[in-house]
Structure 1
């Protein structure tokens, strides 16, 4: 985890967003389930969420985010060596990274999907770094994207108020080991807690010939035990960030920006408080996008960059957490000039 162990470092050189055209407000939800704008806002911090409309897909919003990130980095698609798509909701269960690769013209890249739910972008960032640090690849396009509206039970008030669709992307390039911008990281998972957040398969036995049976079915809508997930996040996220900061030889006092998975404003506030970070140092766009799973961190990162909040040299403590359960943190030093 220390950059002196590697022959190359990494730097994020561009970011982009893929935002669907549909909008679903709290007032709209109040027409669907027993809720209100005040009830949702006070409990989650969410005011609206974006939904993919007709003609849009994971591929379209992922490609949009990719194009923006490439343009900012001034990197041509054919220069990309590796494309990683962090998602839990591909257009094709076999994977959607290759379809985005084709859509943007990254013809020389190898592409694959990575599934770690809401932690996907952080896991993808660490994976990208390893390919670059070992010298295997020079330029990586990392996309975090999800279309959770496909898997929401819109009659379930406890979950339908939370989730939206969206994509974010970054270009990651090789630099010298001395200038490595991934300063430290820590990744975790615990399958014993998987029952708290699921998008599970449900099947039944079907006889195909004589006594030979197969199990066929479909995936069920998202189910979540909100109180358990909240307690998990508030306990584990500050801990994993502290460990990543330790690997980076830093403390929370060195952090300029806290960038968490955009799940619930109360979770973000509680984590910031435990790390003794003031609210003005927390990056949040939850109110406008809701929980976009693997898309949430890169979406918020790109929005903050384009708004001029991020300055070269800023220390950003990122942390994703979600289904699996998985959680992790990456400490990044920003370097893109505004």
Structure 2
């Protein structure tokens, strides 16, 4: 009898991370000159002190390219055999071609690859990780770049003080590679939930009349300006403050873990007060919470990878650390997963 070797069971591992933020800094003091606000008011209500703003001729694809180049340089990563590229964004360069296609061209990545965009707003990066991990685990791909990138300045109404103080631009990227099961970053279920009936609380559209229910968000002057982000901050806050801690509890239970088993909580960087409330309700200590909020503002799909990038650069992460990633926002959606860190370098950047 001829013995047949056991088939290779593919899993995926995050092996590298990179990030990029534009050069221009927009501080709270700059905003004081633009709208009726103050540094004290913004910090107290949001925790944001400054945000980065892309140049007029910088596209979302340019932010992606810079983040991927940073990843490759810092980790000496070989991208010549990448066969999957996912860009999570709500600010694509064009309706078509996709931002991912533009990134593939600008970096001269392999032609024999899949490249597409994914829109899940502030949950987009975790959604994209979920998709990439699933495709690698299924044996359909071997090496994937996953990018969360936004040029939110292009859809922010500078006259609406309830939103213009929040948003910034940037990109974060990770590299996923097929591996043996014992090396995998991903294990156990992912939490994905969608409440489309609440979509009127946070939207950006050229057809605001489409959101006709009573929960429709408005700007401070009562208008619903086309093409800009419009948010009912109070409703989004209430939703996140209840739904996210409940989601954390369910995910931990499914993984048979407790809050004490989590090394780092990495939520979407939406609002410091919101994150404090969520962490307290979930029993997760703030000193083990990673955000990118204070320096970069709310960067939607980019906020989680930027927080990881900052922490890895500072030497705070160690291989084997258990990370709870939790995206939530426009949709309204939430997406969470628990991953093992496998991309920490032994020494932080100078």
Give the alignment's Cα RMSD to 1 decimal. 1.6
Distance 1:252 1:142, change over 3 A: same
Secondary structure of residue in 2 paired with 1:271 = helix
CA distance, structure 2, for counterparts of residue 314 and residue 36 of structure 1: 38
Q: 1:203 deviation in Å?
A: 8.8
Matched, 1:152 2:156: yes
Deviations 1:146-168 (A, max 9, x none): 11111111110111100001100
User: 2:105 aligns to what?
Assistant: 102
Q: 1:233 aligns with which of 219, 240, 243?
A: 240
Aligned to 1:63: 65
Kept in 2: contact 1:70–1:171 (CA 8 A)? no
Give 1:335's aligned residue: 342
Post-superposition shift, 1:253?
A: 1.2
Q: 1:183 aligns with which of 181, 184, 187?
A: 187
Q: How many residues end up aligned between the 2 structures?
A: 320
Q: Match of 2:310?
A: 303
Length-normalised TM-score, structure 2? 0.88
How far apart, CA to CA, are the structure 1 residues paired with 2:164 and 2:312?
29
Question: Deviation per CA, 1:99-127, whole angstroms, max 9, x where unpaired?
Answer: 00111121232100000001000000000
1:125 is paired with a residue of what secondary structure? helix
Partner of 1:142: 146
Question: Contact conserved, 1:24 with 1:50, CA < 8 A, in 2?
Answer: yes
Please give the alpha-carbon distance, in whole angstroms, between the structure 1 residues aligned to 2:248 and 2:185.
16
C-alpha deviations, 1:147-202, integer Å up to 9, x for none? Answer: 11111111101111000011000001111123321123111111110000000123
Q: With the length of structure 1 as denominator, give the TM-score of the two structures.
A: 0.91
Question: Any residues of structure 2 matched to 1:248-287 within 5 Å, and which?
Answer: 248-287=255-294
Match of 1:323 in 2: 330
**Structure 1 residue 219: deviation in Å?**
4.7
**Separation in 2 of the partners of 1:203 and 1:197?**
11
Q: 1:121 aligns with which of 118, 121, 125?
A: 125
Q: Measure, in 2, the Cα distance between the counterparts of 1:242 and 1:174.
A: 29
Aligned to 2:222: none
Q: CA deviation at 1:59?
A: 1.2
Mapped to 1, the partners of 2:244 and 2:343 lie a distance apart of 27
C-alpha deviation, 1:252, in angstroms: 1.1
Among residues 173, 184, 206, which one is paired with 1:169 in the alignment? 173
Q: Higher mean Cα deviation, 325-334 or 53-62?
A: 53-62
Deviation at 1:73, TM superposition (A): 4.3
Q: Is the 8 A contact 2:291 2:303 kept in 1?
A: no
Contact 1:312 1:335 in 2 (8 A): yes
Please tell me whether residue 14 in structure 1 is matched to residue 16 in structure 2. yes
Q: Is the 8 A contact 1:77 1:105 kept in 2?
A: no
- Gaps in structure 2 of 5+ consecutive residues: 1-7, 210-224, 346-350
1:197 aligns with 2:187: no
**Separation (CA, whole Å) in 1 of partners of 2:344 and 2:284:** 25
CA gap 1:245/1:71 in 2 versus in 1, 3 angstroms: farther
Ranges of 4+ aligned residues in structure 1 off by more than 4 Å: none
Residues 78 and 109 in structure 1, CA contact (< 8 A), matched pair in contact too: no
